[in-house]
Amino acid sequence: MNYISTRGGETAVDFQTAVLTGLARDGGLFLPAEIPDVRPELTAWASLDYSALALEVMRRFADLPADDLRAMIGGSYATFRHPDVTPVVPVNGVHILELFHGPTLAFKDVALQFLGRVFEYYLAQSGRRLNILAATSGDTGSAAIAGVRGRRGIRIFVLYPHGRVSPAQERQMTTVPDNNVFCLAVRGSFDDCQTIVKTIFNDLAFRDRYELGAVNSINWARLLAQIVYYFYGAFRVMAQTGARTVRIVVPTGNFGDIFAGYLAARMGLPISRMILATNENDILARFFNTGVYRRGTVQATLSPSMDIQVASNFERYLYYLVGCDPREVCRLMETFAHSGKLRLDGVTGAGVDPLFAAGTCMTADALATIREFYEQHGYLLDPHSAVGVHVGRQFLSPAEPMLALATAHPAKFSEAICKATGRDIAHHPVLDALANLPQRRTVLPAETEAVRAFLREHIP
């Protein structure tokens, strides 16, 4: 499988190049040159366990020897605490896909445990080194660190918004003692962190000199790994209910997770609706309902991983939405860069795309959903998953089951759980063990040059 850029300025590259470089040299994002139609395989795939299903999905996109790919998949998901890797739990008319059984208790582990092994595999073959530069709104940082800590030939530099992630999220990053891990607390928002990373990656001379790579959801391998759990979750729900199609609701801020579901639908998975759920930072929900994508001011909420106003994966979806025309993608993205707004013509009351529905959940509604599910059903949702459940229930259908993605363990947001329930009940041994460990971090201004200087100082 070859990979192309959304902006059309680069010749097709192979899987290895797409993974190790992350961002295309023309500033675009990599996409597969074609999306395979796997509808003939669905019946056979439905009974596979998670690792076997992952092999079947990934081998359509990754030109790796089958035995090597199988070993990387096996090692990735052996780190998870549930035998199903991503189990499905029915609660109150909604089927919850639990994506938080990995090392750092967040859905990012599903992709980053795999990506860390892919990096190490390619680096060992070439003798190269890789310096990973990442921005996180909370969970990507700790999951990426867990995926590459101590691995040969790799350093990781994680930028996160100072004071805008949960205490548990920060401890998961800053208590890691490995010498190849650097945590940078940026005095700004996640969007500031993301802008700094993209600006540095677009400086090709600097990027080449310091051998930079990406683990954010701009990295294609992240999305590839995430496609798998859409198939797995949908198969489990259809087996439990006898349904032929499913609706899937995804809480999202950066559009990476839900874009993986969109790709699964394009591959032939019978998803009737993709339901996009946002918190008060609702740029994506507004776009799907109006056709206008307009940057606003980031609002701090109890679901900080979604406190984003510029979704880095939106460009990938835009590429398909405009008929795979890279010139139109460039025009729209340039318009957005200069004005903070882009508009699609011809959007009607049905919205931008018949596959998508979108809604917003305010903080009070998220807290009420957490409280309801705990008090009435004995099930704890983290605030991001509660956003998804609240919006998803607005689109329930008696004929089609609803699969809701639960993206993090509630213990990562214990303060929000306490606020919702009035009780200190959200704990996990993994997080409790971090409470008194020493932390390592460097606080920097939200300036690209400050981060460049740090990289120069710490990369030989």
- Condensed to tens digits (0 to 9), the pLDDT of residues 259-304 reads 999 999 999 999 999 999 999 999 999 999 999 999 999 899 999 8
Helix (H, G, I), strand (E, B), or coil: what is residue 450? helix
Q: What is the pLDDT of residues 190-245, one digit of tens each?
A: 889 999 999 999 999 999 999 999 887 889 999 999 999 999 999 999 999 999 99
Alpha-carbon span 418 to 371, nearest angstrom:
10
Distances in Å between the Cα of 451 and the Cα atoms of 214, 310, 454 are: 15, 20, 5
Q: Which of 108, 341, 412, 419 is catalytic?
A: 108
Q: What global pTM score does this model have?
A: 0.92
- In order of their start, the domains of the chain are 88-105+221-430 (3.40.50.1100)
**Amino acid 216: pLDDT:** 78
Which tens digit of pLDDT belongs to each residue from 57-71? 999 999 999 999 999
SS3 156: strand
Within the chain, which residues score under 50 in pLDDT?
Answer: none
CB 395, CB 371: distance < 8 Å: no
108 is catalytic: yes
Q: What percent of the chain has pLDDT over 90?
A: 86
CB 177 within 8 A of CB 94: no
Spell out where 209-301 has E strands: 212-213, 246-251, 271-278, 292-294
